[in-house]
Structure formats: structure tokens, C-alpha cells
Amino acid sequence: PQIRKFNFKVQYANATRLCRTKSLVTINGQFPGPTMYVREGDTVIVKVQNKVDYNVTIHWHGVRQFLSAWADGPSYVTQCPIQKDHSFTHKFKVVEQRGTLFYHAHVSWLRATVHGAFIMLPKADAVLPYPKPADEHLLYLGEWWNRNVEDVIAESLRVGGAYQPSDALTINGQPGALYNCSLSDTTVFNVVKGKTYLLRIINAAVNFQLYVSVVGHSLTVVEVDAEYTKPYTTNTLVLAPGQTTNVLLTADQEVGQYLISATVFSPPNPIFVPFPQTPTTAILRYEGAKTVLSSPTELALPKFPLFNDSVFAAGFTTSLKGLSTYSSGFDLPLKVDKEMLFTIGYALQVCPTCNVTFLPNPHLRMRTSINNVSFVEPTSASLMEAYYYNISGVYEADFPSDPLYPYNYTGTAPSNPFSVYGTKVKVLEFGESVQIVFQDTSTTFFEGHPIHLHGTNFFVVGEGFGTFDPIKDTPKLNLVDPPSRNTVGVPSGGWAAIRFKAVNPGMWFMHCHFDIHTAWGMSMAFLVKNGHGMNETLPPPPSDLPKC
């Protein structure tokens, strides 16, 4: 194992997209940020310096942070943000993980431009569960705004929360051939006929689930969220924001150029949620193919499912099966100590000064909630410092295990938009096995929720449409080969069940990975208490942990 050191300077840089140049917040001047390569077992040390006018934190999305919760990074959960001209050094070990993840800013909407790939190579002597590919490519999906993204979200919240669509989808930071002024910057992936490649695909988009497809080529999924899966071959992938997928692609077509493309899956309702209609594209270019594209439409687009085909998406996600079982601590809990039902959905709030044109009553504000609690960030200290130093008044430890308002799914309207506003955490005893059923309650807005948990992967043991029925659905849960993930796409008007074992002490944020929903309050935190051994205890905070 090695020590891998990185210096991250959060700084402004200019970038040109869609015919105009703007200044944006970046890491080391790069957009997307630098790709980090580490190896399983390594110690990672990243010094983050803030040189911009916004408060910043960086989160290592999907990294388990075993016994290193202080390095996790969500603002006001494990740390106060880094203020201008200050720095914070993250230190953590890559424990029993290998695969593709990413890092991103975790404050407001800064992650729209502050992010990059985090690649954990397997141990040098590890045996791969698939044939060794000839080479690999990174396919990094994101969004581009012509405006300053922090202005976009501030303006949205000021008027009650309307969606503000981005101006383009991107692959490796580039919108690709079909967007204005973008043809010559289209990303190119070079391949040689007959060889097989690993594509590491990351959905770093802020508010959209995406379909991904390559013309003429099938894709074999071998890993999701940095855990191996049984091989699954398909023409179209579905990735929620926060999800990562490794696939094998064999260059088995005629020598030539083929479009790789991503487009939006499942906006809630295109009237409420405008989204970029143009797919982002990159080029798969065979060695020996001609290298120029003379017109943006010279190459055919893949045939995607309909933008709202949630049945296709459910078919894709339920086809993914886990491959590995874990060493101690990360095993699939066959029995659970605590069963919880979390309703997730919209929670309209009265706001006399708002003027929300897309809501039936303009004096409502968009809020979202989990179990009818709409999360309010603390300001005086992070949740974890409040726990560690016993500071009262920062949070309440009474997050409910079941919805506050009985859930009655009728299929016609958001059935329980009632909510309380608060900073509540759910306390878990060390070693407890937990099952959570996420029940989407929103039918009017018609959108699923990619729910992301920090500090551990979980097993997705089931999902379905309609209301979860404990008697009918429990026996159908997959306790044989469920995939292990850090982000689960809860289907629109449906449910998903997860299980995990609480063996990593700390304060772990859980939230929807659509940033607009998080901004509206769809988040909460688990406090996993210390165990009794030395290796079961949250260590003291680093001395440079930022102050509020």
C-alpha cells in the first residue's frame, strides 16, 4: 500500500462551451477536475485549498470512509465548510473497495462544476471477475450551464424552487457534436477492431438520470458503484446521478466511427421540468477510420427508450445482480434488527411572499421530505461535531422510523405533502442490521429519486411499482445476489428496499442525489454510535477541521 498525496486548489477558471466563455469554479483549473488514481489499501491525503468566494467542501462519493468519517465532506454534516483562503486536509484509507467512483463539492450546487473521477485500482495481484480488457476509457457525464450555477440555484430558491434546467448534457465536460459550436471539441475514444475495452461511466449530472448507449455495440455491465456484478449485457444503460457503471465494450463492428450518447431519462413532467432535449455525444473511433466529422448529423444516434420509460429502467436495474460477498462487516444481513419505512416525496410549504407560477397555489414553496421531515441544515456546527463534543441544540435525535403522517397511496396525487421542518438524525447502535423501504409518494410530479447514503454501500434487495406491501413483497426480496450500491433509484410511484449493517461509526448523510430535491429538503442523517473496541470508535477530529 502507498500513500497518495493530492493538492486540490478550488479556483476560478475560464471555459468555453456553446459559443461563449465564462468563469467557473474548478479544481486546479480543470473541468471536469483531475482524475484521481489510487489502489485498494492505499492511504489518500488530499489538501483542499479554497481560493473562491464560496464556502466549499469536497466529498468522496461512495468511499466507505471506514473509521474516517471526518474526511467524508458533506457540509454541516461532518464538517463546516472551508472558507475562502482556508484549507482542510482529508485523510482516509481505501478499505476493501475497488472500482469507479467520483468526488464532488458538497455544498449548495457547487458540485455542478467541482467534480472528477476517483478510480480505485484493484490490488496488483487481484484476480478480475472478467477477462482483462485491452485498455480503458473514462466516460464522465455531466451538465453545463451558461449561467453561474450558484446564481441559478439562489434565484430558483428565491422564487419558491422552480427547476432551472442546464443548457447541455456533457461527456468528459464537452456537449458534443449536436450542440452549437461543439463539433470540433467532441470527445473521442480510440479503439482497435477486435479488442475489448473497459468503460468507466460516471453520472455526475446534477438533476438528471441518463440513458447511455453506443451505436452498433452492446455493453456488458461488470460493476456498479464500485462493486462487481454478474455480467449483464444490454444496449442501453440507465444511470441515476451519483451512480457509476463499468461496462465491457468489444470493438466488433466495421472499422469506422460510432456515436456514444447520453440523454435524459424520466424528468418528472416535461412541463414542470424542462430538460436539455439534445443528447450529448462522443465518438467511438476505430483505428484506421477517417478522423473528421463533416457535419454534426453525419453519424446516426442510438435508439433510446422513451424519455419516461420507467418500465425499461426498472427492467435494467432489477437485472443487475451482485457478485461478491464481503469480508466481515459488509455482509448482506439476512436478518434485520430494525425495519424502517421512509416515505419520500414533496412537501409543499406555505410561503406568502413566493410567486410560484408552476404550482396550483402560487403562495406555496417547493419542499421535499423523508418521513414528512424536511431537512434544515444546521449553521453553528456540523452534526458530527455536535455529537462528538456533545453540543446541544444543533440537531434532534428523533428522526422517525415510519412516516409521521400515515401513508395512503391512491395513485392520484401526492398523498402526504404534510411536513415538519427540522434537523433530525436517526440513531443506530453499532452493529445493527437495518432494512429501509423507500416509498415514493409523489404521483403528480412523476419522478423517481436517486437516494444516496454516505459511509457504506447497501444491498438493494428489492424494488417495485405501487405501494410496498410487507406481507406480499417481503418474501420476494432478493437475499441471494442483490447488488451492492451507494445510490438507489427509487422508481417513480414505487418503492425500493435496502439493507446494510451499521458498523462504521459517524454521522452519515442520506439524501436524494437530484440537487434540486436536496435543496428542497430531501435529506437526513444516520448517527452510527461507537462500538466497544478500539477499531469500532470514531477517532478525534483532525486539528484543521474547518470552523463554522
Residue 168 near Cu ion by CB under 5 A: no
Of the residues 17, 452, 499, 501, which one makes contact with ligand C2O according to CB under 6 A: 452
CA gap 103, 115 in Å, rounded: 5
Residue nearest ligand C2O (C-beta atom)? 61
Cβ 241 to ligand C2O, closest distance in Å? 8
CB of residue 206 to ligand C2O, shortest distance in Å: 10
Report the distance separating Cα 318 and Cα 327, nearest Å.
Answer: 24
Residue 451 near Cu ion by CB under 5 A? no
Per CB under 6 A, contacts with ligand C2O among 237-266 are 242
106 binds, among ligand C2O, Cu ion, none (CB under 5 to 8 A by kind): ligand C2O
Minimum Å gap between C-beta 112 and ligand C2O is 12
Residue 517 interacts with Cu ion (CB under 5 A): yes or no: yes
Q: Give the nearer residue to Cu ion in terms of CB position, either 441 or 457.
A: 441
User: What end-to-end distance do the CA atoms of the chain give, in Å?
Assistant: 35
242 vs 305 by CB, closer to ligand C2O: 242
174 or 349: whose CB is closer to Cu ion?
349
- Please state the closest distance from residue 511 (CB atom) to Cu ion, in A: 8
Nine-digit cell string for 357: 407560477
CA-CA-CA-CA torsion for 35, 257, 144, 52, nearest 10 degrees? 30
Instruction: Give dist(CA 196, CA 543) in Å, integer.
Output: 47
Residue 218 phi/psi, 5-degree rounding, is -90, 160
> In the stretch 189-228, what mask flags binding to ligand C2O with x, by CB under 6 A?
----------------------------------------
Q: How far is CA 212 from CA 125, 183, 200, 215, 261, in A?
A: 32, 19, 12, 10, 6
Count, residues in the chain: 548
Which positions ≥6 away from 408 have C-beta within 8 Å?
415, 416
Secondary structure letter of residue 402 according to DSSP: S
Residue 17 touches which of ligand C2O, Cu ion, none (Cβ within 5-8 Å per kind): none
CA atoms of 176 and 203, how far apart (whole Å) = 16
Q: Which stretch binds ligand C2O (CB under 6 A): 171-179, 327-335, 386-394, 506-514?
A: 506-514
**What is the C-alpha separation between 227 and 99, in angstroms, rounded?**
7
Stretch that binds Cu ion, among 163-171, 274-282, 495-503, 509-517 (CB under 5 A): 509-517
* CB neighbour list of residue 430: distance below 8 Å, 6 or more residues apart: 502, 503, 505, 528, 529, 530, 531, 532, 536
Is residue 517 a contact residue for ligand C2O (CB under 6 A)? no
In the set 106, 367, 424, 501, which binds ligand C2O (CB under 6 A)?
106
Q: Which does 512 bind (CB under 5 to 8 A by kind): Cu ion, ligand C2O, none?
A: Cu ion
Q: Which helix (H) or strand (E) holds 526?
A: strand 523-528
> How many residues form the binding site for Cu ion (CB under 5 A)?
4
Nearest distance, CB of residue 512 and Cu ion, angstroms: 3
As a whole number of angstroms, the distance between CA 187 and CA 214 comes to 14
Q: Is 449 in the site for ligand C2O (CB under 6 A)?
A: no
DSSP, residue by residue, 248-307: EEE--S-SSEEEEEEEEE--S-TTTS----SPEEEEEEETTS-----STTSSPPP-PPPT
Among 110, 497, 512, 525, binds Cu ion (CB under 5 A): 512
CB under 5 to 8 A by kind: which of ligand C2O, Cu ion, none does 517 bind? Answer: Cu ion
Residue 499 sits in the site that holds ligand C2O (CB under 6 A)? no
Spatial strand order in the sheet of 188-191: 188-191, 280-286, 257-265, 209-214, 236-239
74 contact choice in ligand C2O, Cu ion, none (CB below 5 to 8 Å, kind-dependent): ligand C2O
* Of the residues 44, 511, 528, 546, which one makes contact with ligand C2O according to CB under 6 A: 511
Tell me how far, at minimum, the Cβ of 514 lies from ligand C2O, in Å. Answer: 11
Of the candidate spans 156-164, 244-252, 305-313, 509-517, the one that interacts with ligand C2O by CB under 6 A turns out to be 509-517
Residues whose CB falls within 8 Å of the CB of residue 49, separated by 6 or more in sequence, listed in order: 7, 8, 9, 10, 82, 86, 87
User: Which residue from 36, 50, 52, 61 is in contact with ligand C2O, where contact means CB under 6 A?
Assistant: 61
Among 59, 137, 426, 499, interactor with ligand C2O by CB under 6 A = 59
- With CB under 6 A as the contact rule, the residue among 32, 33, 74, 455 that binds ligand C2O is 74
The interface with ligand C2O within residues 454-493 (CB under 6 A) comprises 454
Interatomic CA distance for residues 376 and 105, integer angstroms: 19
Query: In sequence order, what DSSP letters do the residues of 12-78 get, joined into one string?
Result: EEEEEETTEEEEEEEETTBSSPPPEEEETT-EEEEEEEE-SSS-B-EEEET---TT-GGGS--BTTT
- The residue among 75 and 416 lying less far from ligand C2O, judged by its C-beta, is 75
Name which of 313 and 453 has its Cβ closer to ligand C2O. 453
Applying CB under 5 A, the residues found at the interface with Cu ion are: 449, 512, 514, 517
